[in-house]
Structure 1
Amino acid sequence: MVKEALADTRVVILNGARQTGKSTLAEQCLRGMPEVTKRYLDDKATRTSAETDPAGFLDAPGTMMIDEVQRVPDLWLSIKHAVDRDPRPGHFLLTGSARLLGLSSLGDSLPGRSETIELFPLSQGEINGTPDGFIDAVFAAGADFRTGSSELRRKDYLTAAARGGYPEAIRRTAPRRRAQFYSSYLDDIMSRDVHQVADIRRGSDMRRLVAALAAQTSGLLNYSRLSADLGIPVTTLRDYVDILELIYLVRLVPAWSANATARAISTPKLTFTDSGLAAYLLTGVTNDTTTGAIMETFVLGELTRQLTWSTTMARLHHYRDRDGYEVDAVLEDNAGRIVAIEVKAAETIRPDDFRGLRALQRRLGDRFHAGLVLYCGDQQLPFGDALTGVPISALWTTPPPELQV
């Protein structure tokens, strides 16, 4: 994907959380290319050069890779001028540990000149070497979607969710060593990344907010309740959550609504980008509510990752209405077709688990393409027209349509 973008786009931006392999991927994509210049802004001397003489810093033939470009915001305008004067594709490959186009310090979003590719922690398919073709397959098949049985059980899914997708966390098999990684990771995020994108004077408030958000991961984001619990003004909380989303620590899943569902609630759902980090923050707090929240965070994370490479152009939402019906994930493609997904952290499945899916199906009619309950059981089970229970592992073991036989 990065190589394809470099072939026809002036500026390619590789965005993602720290420790997701952005620099490594960028370097791999540039191998074999002629005239490549690499600049690493974590290096103080390199950063000083960029700040002192941006135009001179960018003056190089071929493709220039700039790692952690958000560290010198003044480079952005110089990059715009450079690609306007020299519009060849593949001029710059930029990496950043923040959503660059959301930073207020960058004055221009380079419309028509750039393409952004997001890199998340590893998916289960990338970890296990399996197809990761669920989204394309379910949109292609609709009510006829089929998947195989699974050998995984609830404890296996919980283990995978607690492990997360950061490469360093995966390598650390001992729970104590993995917990140490997450502790150091959060320290680095709080002391470095947060301060790169905003002037935070009370870091302790941000840390308390992160812990509070973990306790309600995959729940509706209620700023008023958070404000009362933490003693932080609502306006400040909104700014802090925006920062955490900019640096890929959390993700806001927008509410889905349409004319057919006028009673829908518009409140976004907040989920952690990595389920392992959320599980670490909830260490010692184990009950059915937190287990279900971690499992939903895990599934939403897998869907988010898969959307970055699936050929189906779909968007991820959630649904909840004033009548008490809710659906954990709503995928809508460009044709307006809806694939609705519920997540259950149980090895058995009941008709009542489809309550929200059936309500959405009644209201949408033909737009309702398929409804699935992803659960911790071992087999696919039918529950009515276009409704089925599917093992969670189908997310990463289902091949895309072109690979199915």
Structure 2
Amino acid sequence: MSQGELGGEPDGFIDAIFATGPDLRHESRLTRADYAARVVRGGLPEATARDDTRRRRRFFDAYVQALIDRDVRQLSDIQHKGELRKLVRLLAARSATIIAANSLESALGLSRPTIARYLQALEEIFLVKRIPGWSRNPGTRTTAAPKLIFVDSGIASNEVATDAQGLLRPGAPFGPLLESFVLSELSRQLTWSGELVDLSHFRDRDRYEVDAVLENRSGHVVGIEVKAATTVGPDDFRGLRRLADRLGDDFIAGIVLYTGTSTLPFGDKLRAMPVGAFWEVPVTAAT
């Protein structure tokens, strides 16, 4: 379930941002601790119904193990079930990053074809999802390295053994887990938004990056960066500026989603906006 479905919110950000562009405004009462709690809770109905942290952890553990024992083994010839379980934990620790099978070889002691097959199986059972790299050339897009996220942030958080309080500590993986959380929410919202949009990520040879690129059928693009901080600065828009320079008039808006409460301007078409805007903004949001 999406965050909007869980809380009775409108879940209208995608349609609103394409209709309104950088004129979209939103204020949110959610705090950084609120976002941490949402990340570790995830969206699986059985998990969200469990308020007790220990009961939720036991559910996540049993759920992932059942997927491996039943669903994955039906899809692929699994000869190393223990290594597959280890792979899931490794992927959770690298959530929202570019994953290549060869980067996991030494950690798992498995061949590259085996890892690639296991990754495909985990995607087919909807445990993980690959976000393709963006390019205006369709042929290039299919070969660009994808970014991997967990479909449910609660599972990813459990796999790295963290809770909401732990995410707020220095050095905790709040950033990548929040990014994975937002990308999975984007994927869900795209299934019902009126605007037909493709989701990808951007990274060029100079390592300018944008976490999410939303492109509609007219070639108009909204770029989204995700930050776990309560404040943002001009450097946080580095990748969005590069994307805007490439696209010209096709660039609709560049949004940094952060854990603060207000919408802030950072130049032409560039805005910082609370993460909560993603599910709290209605489609008919006024400027």
- TM-score (norm. length: structure 1): 0.67
**Map of 1:150 onto structure 2:** 28
What is the CA distance between 1:266 and its match in structure 2?
1.5
1:226 is the counterpart of 2:104: yes
Is residue 227 of structure 2 the alignment partner of residue 348 of structure 1?
A: no
Residue number in structure 1 paired with 2:132? 254
Residue equivalent to 2:271: 388
Shift of 1:289: 6.1
Structure 1 residue 258 displacement after superposition:
2.2
Q: Does 1:133 align with 2:12?
A: yes
**CA–CA separation in structure 1 for the residues paired with 2:207 and 2:116:** 26
Q: How far, CA to CA, are the matches of 2:184 and 2:22 in structure 1?
A: 24
1:404 Cα deviation after fit:
5.4
Distance change >3 Å, CA 289–CA 337, structure 1 → 2: farther
Asked whether the 8 Å contact 2:32–2:259 carries over to 1, the reply is yes
Specify which of 205, 212, 224 is matched with residue 83 of structure 2. 205
What's 1:361 paired with? 244
1:176 to 54, 71, 79: 54
Higher relative contact order by CA 8 Å / sep ≥ 6: 1 or 2?
A: 2
Counterparts of 1:5-404 in structure 2 under 5 Å? 122-147=1-26, 149-258=27-136, 266-284=144-162, 288=171, 290-401=173-284
Matched position secondary structure for 2:200: strand
Paired with 2:238 and 2:31, the residues of 1 have a C-alpha distance of 24
Report the AA paired with residue 334 of structure 1.
R
Where in structure 1 do 4 or more consecutive aligned residues deviate above 2 Å? 284-289
In the alignment, the residues of structure 1 paired with residue 114 and residue 177 of structure 2 have an alpha-carbon distance, to the nearest angstrom, of 26
Cα pair 2:2 2:43 within 8 Å, conserved = yes
The alpha carbon displacement at 1:146 in A equals 2.1
Cα pair distance change 1:338/1:243, threshold 3 Å: same
Deviations 1:36-73 (A, max 9, x none): xxxxxxxxxxxxxxxxxxxxxxxxxxxxxxxxxxxxxx
Distance 2:115 2:80 in 1: 12
Letter in 2 for 1:142: G
**Preserved CA contact (<8 Å) 2:76 2:117:** no
SS at match of 1:152: coil
Per-residue deviation at 1:208?
A: 1.1
| Alpha-carbon distance, 1:232 to partner | 0.9
Distance 1:228 1:319 in 2: 27
Aligned positions, number: 279
1:337 aligned partner, one-letter code: H
Distance in 1, Cα, partners of 2:146 & 2:76: 23
Q: Displacement of 1:345 after TM fit?
A: 0.2
* Letter of the 2:120 counterpart: D
| 1:346-397 deviation line (CA, Å, top 9, x unaligned) | 1111111000000110111011111000000010000011000000000011
Find the aligned partners of 2:76 and 2:243 in 1 and give their Cα distance.
Answer: 40
Distance in 2 between residues matched to 1:390 and 1:289, nearest whole Å: 23
Contact 2:13 2:281 (C-alpha < 8 Å) held by counterparts: yes
**Mapped partners of 2:182, 2:54: distance in 1:** 25
Task: Quote the RMSD (CA, aligned, Å).
Answer: 1.7
Structure 1: state its 5+ residue gaps: 1-121
Residue 107 of structure 1 aligns with which residue? none
Higher Cα Rg: structure 1 or 2?
Answer: 1
On the 8 A contact 2:76/2:118 being kept in 1, the answer is no
Distance in 2 (CA, whole Å) between partners of 1:150 and 1:158 is 15
CA distance in 1, matches of 2:286, 2:255: 20
Give the CA deviation at 1:199. Answer: 2.3
5+ residue gaps, structure 2: none
